[in-house]
Chains A and B, each alone.
Chain A
Amino acid sequence: MVGLDVNRLYALTFGLGAACVGAAGCMMVLLVDVTPPLGPAYTLLAFVIVITGGLGSMPGALLGGVLIGVTEALGGLLFTPSAKSMFTFAILVLVLLFRPQGILGKRAAP
């Protein structure tokens, strides 16, 4: 790893992430109302999904998204819709306790 401009790569990574989430927002706006204070709830949700699936794992993020999405939908259907996030956080607690690197993540070298 010689000759790579780390700052440039960081900027590029950040830009790629922002582009992805921009595309996601473009599709999401068809389904949900978008307001300026929308941010923190979805930031936390994305955070939970990535931690559950595994940090730095592409299939993990997909698996986490499906898992959390289905959990929230079923939780809202079978219990109170406003309490659906409780199940999400319960899953997050269990994953953190028993598999902190996430379901598909690799254990980082200590």
Chain B
Amino acid sequence: MIALLLEGVPQRGLHLLVGLLLTLVTVPLVANDYLITVLILILYFAYVGQAWNIMMGFAGQLSLGHALYVGLGAYAAAALYVHFGVSPWIGLWAAMVVSAAAGAVIGFLAFRFGVAGVYFAILTIAFGEFARIGFDHWSWLGGSAGFFLPVANYTRNDLLRPARQPDHVLLRDAGHDPLPPSSCATRC
């Protein structure tokens, strides 16, 4: 399988791949948060593009509903983490299973009933829109407001911080100081 993938790849391309791998491994050790965020976005876009490329580039099937699989995977991993406390590293595999299962069902329906060409594109739009409106009304997963993850407050300019301030004031007024002064000094 791996040999098949590397068939016809020139020597220079292999060197570049190894160089890329080494860069990816070393960058998190030296780069700052912002740079890592940008690199993650770049890899994410490349990954999403590659997923679509497999459908249109290799199989020639125009799919306009690929956002469905991205969203299903994201929701699956996030729901496992928020509702069941499963680590996203395990949720990653669950997300792949969920998205692949959804893709298999839609693909089976489309090709079993001979939906091809532009009709296949419309079918993928229909499934994507159907799921989008469904998730908009699924309050267990946040509904139309979106599904928020409790992320760690690592960066200096975190958007979570201003939202938390009134919280503290409220608690302090009620007589419960939520934080010892020392930890407040390190946070503020």
Interface residues of A (CB under 8 A from B): 44, 47-48, 51, 80, 82-83, 85-86, 89-90, 92-93, 96-98, 100
Contact = CB atoms under 8 A, between A and B. Distances in A.
Interface of B is mostly: helix
B136 A100 contact: no
11 contacts: A44-B125, A82-B137, A83-B134, A85-B129, A85-B133, A89-B126, A89-B129, A93-B123, A96-B122, A98-B113, A100-B114
A38 B184 CA distance: 48
A107 B126 CA distance: 21
A61 B109 CA distance: 25
Nearest to B106: A93
A92 B121 CA distance: 12
B122 A83 contact: no
A82 B113 CA distance: 31
B102 to A, nearest CB: 14
Interface of B: 109, 113-115, 119, 122-123, 125-127, 129-130, 133-134, 136-137, 144
Interface of A is mostly: helix
B113 A97 contact: yes
A97 B109 contact: yes
Contacts of B144: 82
Contacts, number: 47
Contacts of A90: 130
Contact of B136 (A47, A83, A97): A83
Nearest to A98: B113
Given A92-B122, A92-B126, A97-B113, 11 more contacts: A82-B137, A89-B126, A90-B130, A93-B127, A96-B123, A96-B126, A97-B115, A97-B123, A98-B113, A100-B114, A100-B115
B130 A86 contact: yes
A92 B134 CA distance: 15
B119 A86 contact: no
A85 B113 CA distance: 24
B137 A80 contact: yes
A44 B133 CA distance: 14
Given A80-B137, A83-B137, A93 B114 contact: no
Contacts of A97: 109, 113, 115, 123
A47 B125 CA distance: 11
Contact of A47 (B113, B115, B122, B130): B122
